[in-house]
Structures are given as C-alpha cells and as structure tokens.
Chain A
Amino acid sequence: MIKKFLEILEYRELLQTLATKELIARYHASALGYLWVLLNPFLMMLLFTLVFSVFLRIQVENYALFFICAMLPWNFFANSLNQGSSSLVGNTHFILKFYCPRELFPLKVVLAHAFVLLNGFVALVPVILYFKGSLSWAILLVPVVVFFHVLFAAGLTLMLSTLHVFFRDVTHLLEFFTVVWYFLTPVFYPLSMVPETLQPLFRLNPMYVIISLYRDILYLGVVPGLESFLAAAAIGLGTLIVGWKTFLAFEHAVVKEL
C-alpha cells in the first residue's frame, strides 16, 4: 500500500488533471457553469429553512446556518459515493488502454467534490458573518475535518467501485441507501429531537461524528474536543485502509472483468 501510495504521488499531475476534467465535464455546458455547484446547496438551505423553520417550527437557533453547515459536507459525501462507485466501469476504455494506478479514478471523483466542498466553505463565510457577526478562530480546524472526511469517503468509494464492476446494481442500491443514510443522520434536524433511547445508536453513525465536528466549528464556533478528532481520524484511516485493501485485492480481477 505504501508502494502504491508513492506511485499515486508520482501520478499526481494526472490525478489533478483528471479531477479538473471531472469538474469541467460536469459544468461545462450550463450557462452558470460552476456557479451551480455553489448555488445549489444555498437554494436548498432556503427551502429547508422555509419548511422546517417557518412551517414546522423546529426549535433551532439560526436554522439556515445550522442546516448548511451539515448539508455542504453531506453533499460532498453523497456525490463522491454515488459518482465514484461507477468510476471504474465508466473509465473502461481508459483502463484497458493505458496503465496508471486505478485508484486514480475513484479518487479523482472524491477530490473533485472535495474541491467543491472547500469552495462551499469559502462561500459560507458571509453566511456565518450574517448570522453570528464574527468568525471564530476555530474555523482554521475545518481543513483537518475535511481531511479525515475525504479519507472516509475515499475508502468507501474504493470499495464500492470495485464491487460495482462485478455487480452493476450497486449504483442503484447505493442511490437509495444514501437517501436512507441522509435521513438517519442529523443533517436537517438536531440529535436532541431523536427519542433518547435511540440517541446512542445515532452516535455510532460515522457521518454523525464527522458532521458534529463541522457543526461545532462552523455553527457553534467552538473548538471540538480532542476525542472527537481522534474518533474522526480513526474512522477516516480505518475505512481507507479496509477500502484500499479490498481494492488492491481485486484489482487484477477487475481489469480482466472490464
């Protein structure tokens, strides 16, 4: 794995080109282009605020900010999984004609969406200023959380893209599964609204751990405890290692199957 990691480093220019291409290809044809990626979550924010804060009256202060702090990372996560899982099959012609580490294909999707996420956070700054009047120094910790989040998403995407080569329904099942996961993760509602008996179960959700970190930093403006960071690091690294090992174990079979 270390050898493979060094090889991927050697191919970083290609990875960068592929990730850029991924973004360009997706937003090239529309009039607003790349702006859509940034605009979309904020439109969602307005909609959810209208429904949950105005109609349903969830008792959450600054609901719009509360929601968007979790929605941006969730978008990154769900898009990475959904699009990354089909990335090996989608690049068949490429994989069969040229050699490059095959990890690049799932990784380019994850990285492209990570780039979108970072841009989203930049766009988030005025929203925070509007609601809170000031920025907390804690915001400097966001890249650390993003890093662990990317590891988590990359690990899952590596595993899912391998699986998808052998079972093509993976993409459809995944689409449904990410929606279920979305509803079971406190993204648009606070954990406190979940029945108390179920709360310990909800805390086991890795995405809850990660999203709580984002929310502590961006919504509450506080520095999360070290143990939360350690938990996120364990989730990220653990998933990456398992996912990558799976990927490597089946890599040869994948190329023959494509």
Chain B
Amino acid sequence: MIDCENVWLRYNRHVRRSRSVLGALKDIFKPREETQPFWALQDIRFSVRKGDALGVIGPNGSGKSTLLKILGGILKPDRGRARTDGRIFPFLELGTGFEPELTGAENIFLNGSVLRIKREDLRRRFDKIVEFAELQDVIETPIKHYSTGMQMRLGFAIAMHGDPDILLIDEVMAVGDQSFQKKCVQSIHEFKEKGGTILFVSHAMDHVKQLCNVSLWLDHGVQRAFGESSGVVDGYLQDAHKKEMAALEANVRKTVKSESAGTGEIEIREVVFLDENGNPADSFKTRSRMSARIAFHAKTRVRRPIFGVAIHHVDGAHICGPNTTACKEVLREVEGDGAVEFTVDSLLLLPGTYLFTVGIFDPVSHYPFDYRDKAYKFAVDFGGAEGHRGLVAMDYSWDLNPENKFQLEA
C-alpha cells in the first residue's frame, strides 16, 4: 500500500552560493534573498492499494522522480506524509550500487545487502539470478568489464529475486536489448499478478495503459489528475497535443508570412469554413464534411479566373493543393463581389491543426491575382475513433485469413 497525504517538497535553488569557507564568509555580508525556494511537489495526495499498478506521467521536470525518491525513503516531504507498507525496491536507475572493481558475483551480495535481501536467501537464489541475467560466463569477471546492458540485467535480476512488495520503476523499459526488455516486462507482469504493487514512471503511454490500472498525472509539481489509467492518460495526451500544436502554430506565425501577393485585379475578401449544416466552424471531425466559402471582389472584368487552395499541416507537411483547372466548367467572367465554395465531402485528416492557403490565378500566365499563403486555419478534433498518430485517415480493411489456414473467432 502506498499513501500520500498532502505531500509538499521544497528544494532550495541556489542562484549562487559558495561551498567554500571563504565564500561563505563573504556571503554573510550579502543579502539573503539569493536562495529561492522552489516547490518540486505541491500537495500531492493519492493512495494505492496492494496489487495496484500506478503509472506516474507528466512532462520532464514535473516532479515524477522526486515523488519516487520520497516513496523510496530517499527524501522526506517538507509537509504532509507519505506512507508505504512492505519492502520497497527502488529501481531509479538500474545498476547503481554496483562496485566496478568487484566481480558480478560479489556485486550480487553487495547489491542484495543494499536492498536488504538476506545473505542466505541470496546464496540460495544465486544460480537463478545469474541465469535470469544471462551472465553465467562472466559472473566472476569484475563488473567494470560489463556493458551497460549486462549491468542492468544483473540489477534487475537481483531485485526480482528478492521478494519485493513494492517496485518503484523509473523508465526501465527504455533501455536494454529487445529480448531482455521483453523478459523485464514479463516478470513485471508476473509480479503484478502475484499481488505486488508497482509504481511506474514512464513517458511511454502505451506501456502505462497496458501495465497500470491507475495513473497519476503531474505537471510542474502539481497533481493534475489521479484515477483510472485510460482517462488520465487520455487527458494527458490531449493536453500535450494541444501544447504541441500551440507551440507549432506560434512557430508558424513567426516564420510564414501570410500577406497577400498578386497583381490585384481580384482580391480575396474573406474565407469562412462551414460545417455539414452550412454553419461557420473552425474545427471538424475526421470524415465529416467541410466547406470553405471564398468571398472575392473583382475590381475589373476578369475572364476565366482559376481558384486554388492548399492544405498544410502546421508542422509544414503539404497535404494537398487542388485547383479549378480540374473542373469541367469555368466562370466565364467575373466583376464585383462574388464567392466560390470548396467542399470536402469526407475530411480524411487526423486530429491536428491545418493551415489553409487560397489563391486566384490568371488562366493564361498562371500568375496570381491574389494569393494568401497559409493565411487561414482549421482544426481536426482530438478524440475521434481513428487514433491520433499521423496525418491522414484512409479507407482500409483487414483480411485476417486470406489463405483460410487458421480458424477465426468472433
């Protein structure tokens, strides 16, 4: 069981503080405001029962590792209380606590005693540990000759054979070779099935969803959400997506100039996006109908103008750029105010922000009368059934059994 009651933790960020005696003497005569308290964790409260797996998610610097350090007993909260029951194995970094000069075998006993595994237990399980770590041939070699992967394997093997009640895992799955990663994941799952409690810090949301039944979302030391994993993870992803898009847009605004360019015989007055009911909208669902109504003003009589649009993803990918040369008909002549409508029956775009370019061109020279490069934007909403990776939704189908070799099950 893990129980956090209103946990606060403060670091004193030294702007500049001397660690020498002489420097400290000088500092005495300076104003004291140079140390800035900084709350790494603010009012964190959650509780996890035995057998639960808790995913801790959030951007870098949000306090995840600090929380693990508190639960591992390394730091004490400045306010509030953190309680844990049972033997905790911290996995803040695999392979720490190894002594390079000692052999793998000697390190098993050193590391084991750090984790307070009884010496006799270690002796009894020695062979199993070595076998699990796949280090039979090198166990009598000093550990400084091991690769990082080998050290990790040994660290993981020792901990898994020490009967922990609670495992604190900080991004273990990110390292090591594929086959050992699989072994790690497998034994973590087995540990969970046996009723072990897990606290798992990760940036891999798929891993979190798969392994953890509850999740905690931290953001700059503040608890954003705690609860069922799927909800918390989706909330976090949505938020991260929004922020990413906002950052991209800010970037686009800086780099792309969206002024008009052209000879000016026709001027684009307004572009309005319309949803399937013809109402103005700026966000759409994947596979919904989207229209763009392009209002223009022709100062003189212009014959057979060509209208064109382009769609870009905010990150710059050019998705399409249709124009009216593909139409069977043309407008013979325009003068004064007018409008055309560009319609996509089924918008095959995945969630994200898209930029819209509009241009009106001379039919002969193809020179623009008016051209608004990426001047308009619309969004495709997050949360549709299609997932959120990539740009384009396609029509597809699976045939699971084209050769009729296996049996299908509903």
Contact = CB atoms under 8 A, between A and B. Distances in A.
Interface of A: 10-11, 13-14, 16-18, 21, 24-25, 28, 93-100, 166-170, 173, 252, 255-256
- What are the 4 closest A-B residue pairs judged by CB atoms, nearest first? A99-B73, A14-B113, A97-B96, A13-B113
A167 B102 contact: no
Contacts of A100: 114
A98 B72 contact: yes
Contacts of B113: 11, 13-14, 16-17
B92 A97 contact: yes
B96 A94 contact: yes
A167 B20 contact: yes
B12 A256 contact: yes
Counting chain B CB atoms within 10 Å of each CB, the highest count among A21, A94, A173 belongs to A21
B97 A167 contact: no
Given A14-B114, A167-B20, A25 B72 contact: no
B101 A25 contact: yes
A127 to B, nearest CB: 33
B75 A256 contact: yes
Nearest to A104: B114
Given A98-B96, A99-B72, A14 B101 contact: no
A13 B119 contact: yes
A167 B24 contact: yes
Interface in B297-328: none
A173 B21 contact: yes
A25 B106 CA distance: 13
B97 A94 contact: yes
For the complex, would chain B's binding face be called helix, strand, loop or mixed by DSSP majority? Answer: loop
A252 B114 contact: no
A167 B109 contact: no
Contacts of A24: 101-102
A28 B101 contact: yes
B20 A169 contact: yes
Given A94-B97, A97-B93, A100-B114, A255 B74 contact: yes
Interface size bucket, B side? 20 to 34
A40 B110 CA distance: 29
Contacts of A252: 75-76
Residue picked from B19, B75, B96, most chain A C-beta under 10 Å: B19
B120 to A, nearest CB: 10
A252 B119 CA distance: 30
Contacts of B55: none
A21 B110 contact: yes
A28 B144 CA distance: 14
A92 to B, nearest CB: 11
A173 B20 CA distance: 11
B69 interface: yes
A82 B113 CA distance: 26
B265 interface: no
Interface in B1-47: 11-12, 19-22, 24
Interface string B61-94: 0000000010011111000000000001010110
Contacts of A99: 72-74, 88, 90
Contacts of B373: none
Nearest to B170: A97
A25 B107 CA distance: 13
Nearest to A95: B74
A241 B51 CA distance: 42
Given A98-B90, A99-B90, A168-B19, A17 B110 contact: yes
Contacts of B249: none
B20 A168 contact: yes
A26 to B, nearest CB: 10
Given A10-B116, A16-B113, A99-B90, 19 more contacts: A11-B116, A13-B116, A14-B114, A21-B110, A94-B97, A96-B74, A97-B74, A98-B74, A98-B90, A98-B114, A99-B73, A99-B74, A99-B88, A167-B20, A169-B20, A169-B21, A170-B21, A252-B76, A255-B75
B80 to A, nearest CB: 14
Nearest to A166: B19
Contacts of B119: 13
B210 to A, nearest CB: 26
Contacts of A96: 69, 74, 92
A107 B69 CA distance: 23
Contacts of B118: 13
B97 to A, nearest CB: 6
Nearest to B96: A97
Contacts of A93: 96
B275 interface: no
Given A14-B113, A17-B110, A98 B97 contact: yes
Find the residue from A18, A25, A99, A173 having the highest chain B CB count within 10 A: A99
A256 B41 CA distance: 14
B362 interface: no
Interface in B183-210: none
A73 to B, nearest CB: 29
A95 B97 CA distance: 9
Contacts of B282: none
B90 to A, nearest CB: 6
A24 B103 CA distance: 12
A251 B22 CA distance: 24
A94 B90 CA distance: 12
A24 B11 CA distance: 37
A97 B97 contact: yes
A167 B23 CA distance: 9
Nearest to A102: B74
B215 to A, nearest CB: 24
A156 B114 CA distance: 25
